[in-house]
Structure 1
Amino acid sequence: MILAIDIGNTNIVIGCIQKGECLFVERLSTVHTKTELEYAIDIKNVLDIYHIRQEQLEGGIISSVVPQVTRAAKLAVEKILKKEVLIVGAGIKTGLNIRIDNPAQLGSDLVVDSVAGIAEYPVPLLIFDLGTANTVCVIDRNKNYIGGMIYPGIGVSLDSLTAHASQLGGISLEAPEHIIGKNTTECMKSGVIYSAAAAMDGIIDRLEEELGETATVIATGGLAKRIVPHCRRKVILDDNLLLKGLYIIYQKNRK
């Protein structure tokens, strides 16, 4: 069993994986000011909730898009495991053939998503990761990472809307009963949810047009489950994609 952690801008996703199966997935808030001890306490508490002991864990692996938190989290996990932890980055074997202008610029989360997608689904692939930023990975029929897209996440768009429109307050992210809202709150919910779903549908159409063929479409990330049910295109929801990718990369690099 291994401990897999993905550090995102908003959340830290934690899971334990045994023989490729995710035993649990939990989320902590990403806090830049926390010390390694504070993160160690948070992670240990999650493990205790699921009755997982340190001796059951053979190792750990971390992917991160928040460099300020990476070191604290690594030291925190090593405090718990008493073992060196892998960080997805330079020098790590992934098996992913990256065909972009500067492969070193590709975020570790996108690498991990792509590794898992190629292992589990038919290519070509479009992988949507819906979080603070929405990203799309494009994998061609030869299993090459050929590029993608980045656009504002749902939370970022909503925060911008409420910050710049004085009469609009915060809302919870769930679909209203009708697309045509009958009050301000319903209108905002409808606009946020259905514009995100329509954007996904439109992006899929355009990417498939450029690829010249139909692709398997996968969605993951903290907000995916709120948007995917409203898409008109077929989209496979896989909440555990990133953790499964971390497990595959861990296996490629185990000593």
Structure 2
Amino acid sequence: MRSISNLLPRQMLKAPLALASIIHEYEPTELPIKPSDWLNALDKMLGDLQFTCNVNEIALANSMNGGDTYYYYFTHRATQQTWPEWMGVLHGYEINFIFGEPLNTERFKYTKEEQELSYRFMRYWANFARTGNPNKNPDGTYTADVWPMYTQASMQYINLTVESDYSAGASRIGVGPRRKQCSFWKKLLPNLMAAVADTGDQVMRWKQEMYRWENDYIVDWQLYFEQYKKYQTYRYADSENGQC
């Protein structure tokens, strides 16, 4: 509980029910629960909150405003990764593959599969820079694995990893990603926090506005209305006397 509290935005900690819902969303389900299970849960929670769900929103906004959008999800932990294994696939490490580091066999010892993955990255990125379509090769042909466009209707992305990471018959195309968890962060949790928010300040402001209305605004309004009625009475009298 303390670890989660230290990692969340302060406003989320003001509502105990909101904090409980976050724990419920990410708590491990397989028994017995080990400390490493909670570590993985925290990793997923922070990844969704700080990266994945925000990227989803940006991709969706770009697509809805007419931009050709292609979304990828990098899920391969490189063999040359120097960080501890429990950290998984780190943010930004696909850049090594985009710029062809696995092809430098004199300095690095990447696997053959990782070299092929690097070729795929470079092909997609070069095609996109050239034509705006990562699938269209210079000779007019298309890549073997078609990278679908991300739209509001489909929300499709491509999973970029080595071939052995794909299970037998598994599709390289996913939807979302992390759609359920992002719906929790962007829809359910804000509504829950609003429903259980402390209304003390809001009620106080409402009472202050009502007091000003009853003691200032309505009094002024009555004064001006009485003046208006007198003015209309004078106008009516003048018109009867033929002065208008």
Specify if TM > 0.5: no
> What is the TM-score normalised by the length of structure 1?
0.27
Which structure dedicates a bigger proportion of its chain to strand?
1
> What is the TM-score normalised by the length of structure 2?
0.28
Which structure dedicates a bigger proportion of its chain to helix?
2
Q: Which has the larger radius of gyration?
A: 2
